[in-house]
Amino acid sequence: ETSVTLYGIIDTGIGYNQIKQGGDKATRFGMINGTQSGNRWGLKGVEDLGNGLHAVFQLESGFDSSNGYSAQGNGTHNRLFGRQATIGLAGDSWGQLDFGRQTNIASKYLGGVIDPFSNGFGQANLGASFSSANTMRLDNLVLYQTPNFSGFQFGIGYTFNANGSQDWKLDGQSDTNTRGFTTGLRYANGPISAALTYDRYDNDANFDSAINEWNLGVGYDFEVAKVSLGFGQTRNGLMQVQAPGAGVSFSTDDSIGVLENIDGLKVNSYLVGVSAPIGNGKILASWQMADATNSGNLGWDAKKQQVYSLGYTYNLSKRTNLYAIGSYGKNMYFADDVKSTAIGVGIRHMF
Amino acid sequence: ETSVTLYGIIDTGIGYNQIKQGGDKATRFGMINGTQSGNRWGLKGVEDLGNGLHAVFQLESGFDSSNGYSAQGNGTHNRLFGRQATIGLAGDSWGQLDFGRQTNIASKYLGGVIDPFSNGFGQANLGASFSSANTMRLDNLVLYQTPNFSGFQFGIGYTFNANGSQDWKLDGQSDTNTRGFTTGLRYANGPISAALTYDRYDNDANFDSAINEWNLGVGYDFEVAKVSLGFGQTRNGLMQVQAPGAGVSFSTDDSIGVLENIDGLKVNSYLVGVSAPIGNGKILASWQMADATNSGNLGWDAKKQQVYSLGYTYNLSKRTNLYAIGSYGKNMYFADDVKSTAIGVGIRHMF
Amino acid sequence: ETSVTLYGIIDTGIGYNQIKQGGDKATRFGMINGTQSGNRWGLKGVEDLGNGLHAVFQLESGFDSSNGYSAQGNGTHNRLFGRQATIGLAGDSWGQLDFGRQTNIASKYLGGVIDPFSNGFGQANLGASFSSANTMRLDNLVLYQTPNFSGFQFGIGYTFNANGSQDWKLDGQSDTNTRGFTTGLRYANGPISAALTYDRYDNDANFDSAINEWNLGVGYDFEVAKVSLGFGQTRNGLMQVQAPGAGVSFSTDDSIGVLENIDGLKVNSYLVGVSAPIGNGKILASWQMADATNSGNLGWDAKKQQVYSLGYTYNLSKRTNLYAIGSYGKNMYFADDVKSTAIGVGIRHMF
């Protein structure tokens, strides 16, 4: 029995980004990385403890395959295993309980149902509109997930501090740890799939109400094509936010921030997705809209963000594929007339 | 023959810390990590060179399992293999000679004899009172250890610079490298074990005399319980210092510093330890005292630091266990009335 | 079939450096690391895609074996895989196409022909005089290399930005990405070997002309000894520059910089190398000269830099060897009377 498995994904390509607002324009042309799937290497293992009980762990480190940078390891703190660092116990009958850093339930459950781009391909992925499903990772997370019951799986997690180390709380002062929870239900049976998720975080005592988001998605696989629909509502802020221009994955940091409190902001999110197998490949397409029905403290008059995306993946083997992506977004980050165009081609290899 | 072994430990739990001084109080509640054993992944190997000679190496990287941070990789310099980075030659007849970063002899030899907590469990471990045995790692270390001779093993090491890179010495100026040596003897035979260690470091020309510490420990395993006693003396500073509140291992940095010169400081350290196997588990208990008989340049009137600790480990398998820890310390870091309480439970998995 | 291979090199020793200029002197004595070969651990793999096509990848991380530091991971950005991060496709008939960070063609092709020190041993290696062959790594590189045709191999690469992340180009402003290309031809057949390389980079619009360097090398293996000759010309700057005192590899950062534009600088470089097998070992010797025939904007009156080096390697096995190195350089970095002396001994193990 091997006690540890070494695995990873490396994904590199060539791409182009353009951002325009009014007469201003910024462009990038060059090497892109982690576009379809974030670059990673990791260690994972399962130990059989008997009586249907298992010890499980996973350590996953992200990197930039165009220049070798650590993907979550720049700046003051260096996340060596910035994608995942968990240990847990799993029982055949009762499910799995994990401790440590990993993605929230919305990022785990929603994308598989509604996103043809499977949480990848930069601004094309559902995260552009559904911020809680934007591969948001939570530190200090205790996460419980049931086994699959007749196609249903339920998960719920609580984080002692969503981002970083556990802070001291001084007597008489407020707690600076961002507590929060993530929960959801998913269903998959034959051609039908569905997911419902909810996240709530309280990261600052200066805001009246916590950031929260719920999302619902359904999908049906007609074999000739899979069609999906998603709807969600975000209130009082955004969770994992992409900057305009995240288009395809250049190695600069495209994230605006995590758990941005924006008091009073109300966003309704929509997605229609289609994917269709064609020979050794697959066509991917989606339309997304994030409609800020109330700008709240955003700071400007919010416009409807819309993203149109089209992609193609072609399998060279089970572990290696080529891809092409094109995506066009307007009113990005709710800003009037900000247009983001992204195109790219690349290769992804899994080991 | 495999040329490299991939291994590691992941240790995460839930814990609580409280520090009080007079009317002030600070608390932490949340995820703890590396409490029983520091989280690590590593590579090691042995090559048979013939004639009883072997080439050996070990590269060990520490991390925080609650948020994925590198454990020794934050700040200006990033220690990728911050726990150990050594290459050496080993001879069946003459022992082993290693080059690179690793723990000093006191950290290797003393804990196994006197510490029921095996250099783990935060403030419960012997390092709270015996600063040279507090898992102190030395850079640029040449370390020689004999084979086991009838239960005896002797080790001696010299570091060209205890912490960091080798500095240039400018002609006419003093050498800013912290030179030092670490040495010790240990004995284990049936129920009896003993260790004697000595460390000396000269890290700053502004102090009259070098930091030094010697420690002596003995243990006897009565089978129903193992009992141990330790005594040591530290002069002119402290070696690897824990901050008050190191209690259980939250992900914030609990260390005060390494090789703190405190001219004239005299500390006598004491430990009484007991561990007793109970079914699949083990009860651990210790009392420690660090008595600063002369405050020297400490800056305040030193009080007797005492730490009382009680723990329990329960084996789910040879590689996985659960644990619980409670520890109470007073006059921490010799400061009047500073009380540190720590409790925690967790799971540890070795791969 | 294994999908991933874990490998590495660890190289540590004891050394001494001295730099003198006029009456000033600086010395270092202590642990050296990565002297013969840079310390590294890595992951690599090949997948057979059928029809003579393969997917290949390599991720290589550098470290300092004396203190565990990441070798390319200090400072603002942390290169986890700072030595190499590539994915590519390889065809039996047409060669290999790689994407990502790796060394340029000059560093790949020239050293094997002319450098007895094989791009290692600090200032002894050819990089002290031939800056494009000084293990220069390029980010965002697309590199194509032919298969071996009757002893010939040709390579050519283009980088979208030689060092770091892809920058945005703002409309109406200049592109801040350092574009460039690297190309070369090598030949090896029986005792004869030869290499011709050319590199050109444009890293700043403030200079009239781009940094460029071409090098030519030939070698002949007389069996009793291999003799080699190298000549090259560098114009308008230096590529991968070593600081004076790089002598043997202490853990401090010895690099001055990458792609230093020095307008008008003209350097002619020369190398004569000899290596001779002796029993289980090999004697290595070289003389190098970098003659700045025009100082350009260097800032001082350039002197002829010369380096004399002598080394010895002794194999304990195929994977482990000992080494000794001595090197003396004068007018280092073209500065009048700067003398650099380096001696060291060490052990290197490959896994």
Mean pLDDT calculated for residue range C68-91: 89
User: pLDDT class for A117, splitting at 50, 70, 90?
Assistant: very high
Between positions 21 and 50 of A, the ones with CB within 8 A of C are 24-33, 41
CA distance C204 to chain B (A): 28
- Please report, as a single letter, which amino acid is at residue B135: T
User: pLDDT class for A136, splitting at 50, 70, 90?
Assistant: very high
Contacts of B64 in chain A (CB under 8 A): 85, 165
The neighbour count for residue C167, using CB atoms within 10 Å, is 17
- Please report, as a single letter, which amino acid is at residue C289: M
Annotation: CATH topology of B5-350: Porin (2.40.160)
Name beta bridge partners: B273: B228, B286
CA distance A2 to chain C (A): 13
> For position C1, what pLDDT does the model report?
46
> For position A42, what pLDDT does the model report?
98
Q: What is the dihedral of CA A255, A258, A262, A267, to 10 degrees?
A: 70
When the candidates are 2.30.30, 2.40.160, 1.10.287, 3.40.50, the CATH number that belongs to C16-38+104-138+150-156+164-350 is 2.40.160
Percentage of residues in chain C having pLDDT higher than 90: 80
Model pLDDT for residues C105-139, shown as the tens digit of each residue? 999 999 999 999 999 999 999 999 999 999 999 99
- Cα–Cα distance measured from residue A233 to residue A256, given in angstroms and rounded to the nearest whole number: 20
Mean pLDDT calculated for residue range A148-163: 96
Mean pLDDT calculated for residue range A151-170: 93
Q: Is C319 on the interface with B (CB under 8 A)?
A: yes
- Cα–Cα distance measured from residue C317 to residue B47, given in angstroms and rounded to the nearest whole number: 9
The pLDDT of residue A255 is above 80:
no
Identify the CA nearest to C65 among candidates C33, C31, C29.
Answer: C33
The pLDDT of residue A261 is above 90:
no
Mean pLDDT calculated for residue range A168-196: 94
ipTM: 0.95
DSSP, residue by residue, B210-274: -EEEEEEEEEEE-SS-EEEEEEEEEEEEEEEEEPTT-SS--SS--EEEEEEEEEEEEEEEEEEEE
Mean pLDDT for all residues in chain A: 92
User: E-assigned strands of chain A?
Assistant: 5-21, 24-33, 40-50, 53-62, 84-91, 95-103, 137-145, 152-159, 169-170, 179-189, 192-202, 211-221, 226-242, 255-278, 281-294, 305-315, 320-330, 339-350
Q: Is there a contact between C15 and C37 (Cβ–Cβ < 8 Å)?
A: no
Quote the Cα angle for A146-A151-A157, to 5°.
30
Q: Is A251 on the interface with C (CB under 8 A)?
A: yes
> For position C212, what pLDDT does the model report?
95
Mean pLDDT for all residues in chain B: 92
Model pLDDT for residues A67-76, shown as the tens digit of each residue? 999 998 766 6
Model pLDDT for residues B244-281, shown as the tens digit of each residue? 666 677 665 445 567 888 889 999 999 999 999 999 99
Chain A, chain C: beta-carbon pairs less than 8 Å apart: 154
User: pLDDT class for C250, splitting at 50, 70, 90?
Assistant: low
Q: Where are the domains positioned within chain B?
A: 5-350
Count of residues in chain A: 351
Mean pLDDT calculated for residue range B55-72: 95
Which token pair is B204?
Answer: 């700053």
- Cα–Cα distance measured from residue C78 to residue C72, given in angstroms and rounded to the nearest whole number: 7
Q: Do B47 and C73 touch (CB under 8 A)?
A: no
The pLDDT of residue A206 is above 90:
no
DSSP, residue by residue, B13-34: EEEEEEEEETTEEEEEEEEEES
User: pLDDT class for C261, splitting at 50, 70, 90?
Assistant: confident
Model pLDDT for residues C282-339, shown as the tens digit of each residue? 999 999 999 999 999 999 999 999 999 999 999 999 999 999 999 999 999 999 999 9
Q: Is A11 on the interface with C (CB under 8 A)?
A: yes
Q: Is A1 on the interface with B (CB under 8 A)?
A: no
Tell how strand A24-33 and strand C169-170 pair up: antiparallel
Model pLDDT for residues C135-186, shown as the tens digit of each residue? 999 999 999 999 999 999 999 999 999 988 888 899 988 888 999 999 999 9
> For position A1, what pLDDT does the model report?
46
Mean pLDDT calculated for residue range B56-66: 97
Q: Is there a contact between A18 and A26 (Cβ–Cβ < 8 Å)?
A: yes
The pLDDT of residue A199 is above 80:
yes
Model pLDDT for residues A293-322, shown as the tens digit of each residue? 999 999 999 999 999 999 999 999 999 999
- Please report, as a single letter, which amino acid is at residue B121: F
Cα C75 from chain centre: 21
Q: Is A209 on the interface with C (CB under 8 A)?
A: no
Enclosing H/E stretch for B110:
helix B105-114
Percentage of residues in chain C having pLDDT higher than 70: 93
Percentage of residues in chain A having pLDDT higher than 90: 80
Percentage of residues in chain B having pLDDT higher than 70: 93
Quote the Cα angle for A70-A72-A74, to 5°.
70
Q: Quick one: closest CA in B to A176, which residue?
A: B28
Q: Do A12 and C169 touch (CB under 8 A)?
A: no
The pLDDT of residue B76 is above 80:
no
Most C CBs within 10 A among A66, A319, A323, A348, hence the mutation to make, goes to A66
Mean pLDDT calculated for residue range B132-139: 95
Q: Which chains touch B (3 or more CB pairs under 8 A)?
A: A, C
The pLDDT of residue C255 is above 90:
no
User: pLDDT class for A259, splitting at 50, 70, 90?
Assistant: confident
Contacts of B74 in chain A (CB under 8 A): 76-78
Enclosing H/E stretch for C7:
strand C5-21
CA distance A194 to chain C (A): 34
Q: Quick one: closest CA in A to B65, which residue?
A: A85
Q: Is C59 on the interface with A (CB under 8 A)?
A: yes
CA distance B268 to chain C (A): 31
Which token pair is C2?
Answer: 């294994």
- Cα–Cα distance measured from residue A317 to residue C83, given in angstroms and rounded to the nearest whole number: 28
